[in-house]
Amino acid sequence: METEEIEMLRNEILKALLAIDSGEESLEDVLKIEFKNEKDAGLYREIVKGVFRHKITLDYAIQSFMNRKNQKLHKPIEMILRMAFYQWIYLDRVPAHAIVNESVKLAKKVGHKGSVGFVNAILRKATKEKIHPEEWKFSSIEEEISIKYSLPMELTSYLINSYGEDWTLDFARHSIEIPATDLKVNTSKISTEDLMESLAKEGIRCKEIPGDLDALRLVRGNIFSTRAFKKGLFYVQDLAAMEVADFALKGQGNGFKKALDVCGAPGGKSIDLALIKPDLEIQCCDVSVKKVKRIQENIQRLDLKNISPKLRDGQRPSKIEKEAFDLVVLDAPCSGFGLLKRKPEIKYRRTIKDINSLVKLQKSLLEASATCLRPGGILVYSTCTISKEENEYLVEEFLKNRKDFTLVDQKFLPLNQETDGFKMFKLVKTC
């Protein structure tokens, strides 16, 4: 890579990190930037995601090389150091001298002479030795989990109190893994085997995921540039999210005609329902115009005729929606702690206090969704988080107040190598 190209790439990485950190942009948004070659794009994604995946660990390592502990740093300089330490600790392909030189060049653009010298001095010290976070020793299990696995202390303590030390340690280890990319096969157009062959011809390697979800796991390649993607032969979705539709319809639904997906954007649950049961009439809704547009784009690309996008406030159903649906799926807005592999910035933005306001919204959505279900129908409540307040406790309270509903099944998927963390509950309206 030419020197000028390297500098441009580092500038883009720094700009993205600062935009995410300030809240101006989401991680998902900054990753949409396009590069001339896949190598640049790969390094860009690697560093941007990696810095947020390991931010607490990186800050601890940076502090260990500073003369004054807890020294407040100018934000761009702090981010340059995080970029550098991430490459030094977690990437083998970037040599020490390149990390130092490129970091100093960046510092010259955003800082003064003193901060340039500071960056140079810190990195020259740090790159003389290899840093191994897994070998660090701590005085408590909370501190160890928080710093080694970059989990905020408040969240670490909350999880230990809720689930115990062993569970929290396992959760934390998996939360910094690089997530798999899973593909839901559009079986209305192609079989799983034929999609594998089609992608292989375009240089994309996948493996079939065992079970009956009609899913593939990406092994190598950029799937978004393929003809198969443009033709709508698959939809990118984590295995855990795919489980919701299967969970909703398994053992049920032979007579189901109408389904409501309450908080449906970007359309994944409705797509799954449509592929499992092509004769099901599905309304896929969201309260945001922008999100409804995303639903529309996805169902058009997959060419699924039994899904209707709709702008709708899930807390305010209309009179004509009362007892109008056989199946209602509420994948509720939540704290999102089950998605930390995929969206690491969540752990720095969400606090335990946020759960209380989310629970209030979830209760309102659940109550409103229940009114849309006919007697004998199924209501599925799911979240991509692991807090009991947003799941077990909320469903228990709902059932205590609604004697016309019964819990018939529940499924918890841990955050691990295979899936995101998900919880789902199946309720039947008995009368």
The verdict on 158 and 222 lying in the same domain is: no
Is the pLDDT at 61 greater than 90, yes or no? Answer: yes
- pLDDT tens-place string over residues 347-356: 999 999 999 8
Give me the CATH number covering residue 188.
3.30.70.1170
Name the domain count of the chain.
Answer: 4
Is the pLDDT at 4 greater than 80, yes or no? Answer: no
The verdict on 272 and 203 lying in the same domain is: no
Give the pLDDT band (50/70/90) at residue 263.
very high
pLDDT for res 275 = 96
- pLDDT tens-place string over residues 368-410: 999 999 999 999 999 999 999 999 999 999 999 999 999 999 9
The verdict on 80 and 147 lying in the same domain is: no
Mapped to the 3 state alphabet, what secondary structure does the chain carry?
Answer: CCHHHHHHHHHHHHHHHHHHHHCCCCHHHHCCCCCCCHHHHHHHHHHHHHHHHCHHHHHHHHHHCCCCCCCCCCHHHHHHHHHHHHHHHHCCCCCHHHHHHHHHHHHHHHCCHHHHHHHHHHHHHHCCCCCCHHHCCCCCHHHHHHHHCCCCHHHHHHHHHHHCHHHHHHHHHHHCCCCCCEEEECCCCCCHHHHHHHHHHCCCEEEECCCCCCEEEEEECCHHHCHHHHCCCEEECCHHHHHHHHHHHCCCCCCCCEEEECCCCCCHHHHHHHHHCCCCEEEEEECCHHHHHHHHHHHHHHCCCCEEEEECCCCCCCHHHCCCEEEEEEECCCCCHHHCCCCCCHHHHCCHHHHHHHHHHHHHHHHHHHCCEEEEEEEEEEECCCCCCCCHHHHHHHHHHCCCEEEEEEEEECCCCCCCCEEEEEEEECC
pLDDT for res 1 = 52
Instruction: State the pTM of this model.
Output: 0.92
Give me the CATH number covering residue 19.
1.10.940.10
The domain boundary, picked from 191, 209, 236, lies at: 236
The verdict on 300 and 408 lying in the same domain is: yes
Give the pLDDT band (50/70/90) at residue 33.
confident
Query: What is the chain's mean pLDDT, rounded?
Result: 93
pLDDT for res 36 = 75
pLDDT for res 145 = 97
The domain boundary, picked from 175, 193, 226, lies at: 175
pLDDT for res 341 = 94
pLDDT for res 253 = 59
pLDDT for res 346 = 94
Is the pLDDT at 34 greater than 80, yes or no? Answer: no
The domain boundary, picked from 150, 175, 200, lies at: 175
The verdict on 12 and 113 lying in the same domain is: yes
Is the pLDDT at 2 greater than 60, yes or no? Answer: no
pLDDT for res 293 = 97
Residue 220 belongs to domain spanning:
182-236
The verdict on 152 and 269 lying in the same domain is: no
The verdict on 152 and 245 lying in the same domain is: no
